[in-house]
Amino acid sequence: PELQGSLIIQSKAACQYEWAVICFSKAITLQPKQTELHARQGDAYLQLCDFQSAAACYKRARLLQPGAFDACLAFIYNLQGQCLFDRGLFLEALEAFKRATEVKPDCKIYKIRLSCLTAAGRHGDCLEELSELIAESPSADLYIVRARVHKLMNQSLCFQDVKSALTLKPTCQEAEALLLQLQEASEEARQQAVLRTLTGQLQEALCLISTALQGSPQDARLYLFKEARIQLALTYNDFAVQCFSGGLYIEATLLLNKAIREEKGLAGLYLNRGCFFKREDWCYALLDYQQAEEMLPDDPAVWLRLAVIHNTLGSSCFQNCFKEAVDMFSLALKYNPTVGQYYENRSKAFRKVLNLRGAREDFICLLILDPSNEE
């Protein structure tokens, strides 16, 4: 392995930079006030990833020529902070970013990096601040900072921010490096998913594919796995409907449970499972309908189911808790105000809690909807 060409080249390059540092040290001993010598020695240290020594060289150059090397010194601190951040050394990274902002207090990027670390545990606040800045003046650097926050939160939006950064600055090395990390992680997850599939661990394989999609959403191979999950969930759903039609309610519910474990993004699965619950499980049916509502907030079919279940729960509460029954019937009317029976039920509950005005108004609504109602 030590004879590989790339390693030989890297080793030779490192030796050259080390020799350069020694030569610059000798030159500085002879001419200690030559500003350029300190700066070039700092560059050599930077190539060796010795950030502390590089910063020290540029500090000496700044003393000899104030203000001339502020940008370079801030860049070194920023690079050091980013390396520490990537290694998970957040407190050390925080100190490095602080030094960068002290050297270049007018640099927006350094301030943002600092605020992101300072707001540890409040990544949502960081994302909000970054989004506002990007809306005002989008830049590749801002997109990269937000991408790293998204990556820290394991969000798929990291990939989109990296692509936006490359669109604005196609030669952005930081964006290219982050994109490579995402692609490598995605490929690793995909290979693990293939192994899980071959050993029959389909559920784990599908979870790994979801992880892979976050890093490479444009990889068509991953969507084949995703489609397999959806098809499996729909198959479970079809069998569940058949079981329900045959009166096998427990079996139907179990099949819907499996379908939802495979694919949690199909609102229809929650609607179907809600229908399968019997009297003692109406509260679980309500939870399923509410989940479907979160996914399809404006779907009339979901509203109709929610209206029916609230009316059903209201009728159950009417036996022993009239106030709760009023609340349930009110929710039923919120989701479907066109059913006269809901007004009739609530009017009876209003009478029990002595709200005669409410009962009268509900009876008027009932008469409008159903003028022939004798009761």
> Is residue 330 pLDDT above 90, yes or no?
yes
pLDDT per residue as tens digits for the range 66-87 = 888 888 888 888 888 878 777 7
What token pair was written down for 337? 């105000």
Whether residues 323 and 361 share a domain: the answer is: yes
pLDDT grade for 264, boundaries at 50, 70 and 90: confident
Q: What would the mean pLDDT of 321-347 be, rounded to a whole number?
A: 92
Q: What is the pLDDT at residue 349? A: 93
Q: What is the dihedral of CA 120, 122, 127, 133, to 10 degrees?
A: -80
pLDDT per residue as tens digits for the range 160-182 = 888 888 888 888 888 888 888 88
- 87 falls within a domain: no
Cβ–Cβ < 8 Å for 333, 327 = no
- 356 falls within a domain: yes
Q: What is the pLDDT at residue 201? A: 66
pLDDT per residue as tens digits for the range 201-211 = 666 766 776 67
Q: Residue 309 is part of a domain; what is its CATH number?
A: 1.25.40.10
Whether residues 310 and 266 share a domain: the answer is: no
> Is residue 219 pLDDT above 70, yes or no?
no
- 145 falls within a domain: no
pLDDT grade for 42, boundaries at 50, 70 and 90: confident
Q: Which of 20-34, 174-188, 244-258 is least confident?
A: 244-258
> Is residue 1 pLDDT above 50, yes or no?
no
Q: What would the mean pLDDT of 48-63 be, rounded to a whole number?
A: 87
Q: Tokens 């808790």 identify what position?
A: 321
C-alpha span between 286 and 308 (Å, rounded): 10
> Is residue 348 pLDDT above 60, yes or no?
yes
> Is residue 312 pLDDT above 60, yes or no?
yes
What token pair was written down for 281? 């499980």
- 86 falls within a domain: no
Whether residues 323 and 370 share a domain: the answer is: yes
Q: What is the pLDDT at residue 112? A: 57
Q: Which of 233, 251, 279 is the last residue of a domain?
A: 279
Which run of H or of E encompasses 358? helix 356-369
Q: What would the mean pLDDT of 52-73 be, rounded to a whole number?
A: 87
Whether residues 367 and 314 share a domain: the answer is: yes
How many domains does the chain divide into? 2
Whether residues 264 and 324 share a domain: the answer is: no
| CA contacts within 13 A on the Cβ side of 12 | 7
- 257 falls within a domain: yes
Whether residues 266 and 303 share a domain: the answer is: no
* Max mean pLDDT range (51-55, 293-297, 329-333): 329-333
Whether residues 271 and 302 share a domain: the answer is: no
- 101 falls within a domain: no
Domain with 362, as residue range(s), is: 298-374
Whether residues 302 and 370 share a domain: the answer is: yes
Q: What would the mean pLDDT of 126-155 be, rounded to a whole number?
A: 75
E strand segments, the chain: none
- 247 falls within a domain: yes
Q: Tokens 């892979």 identify what position?
A: 212
- 251 falls within a domain: yes
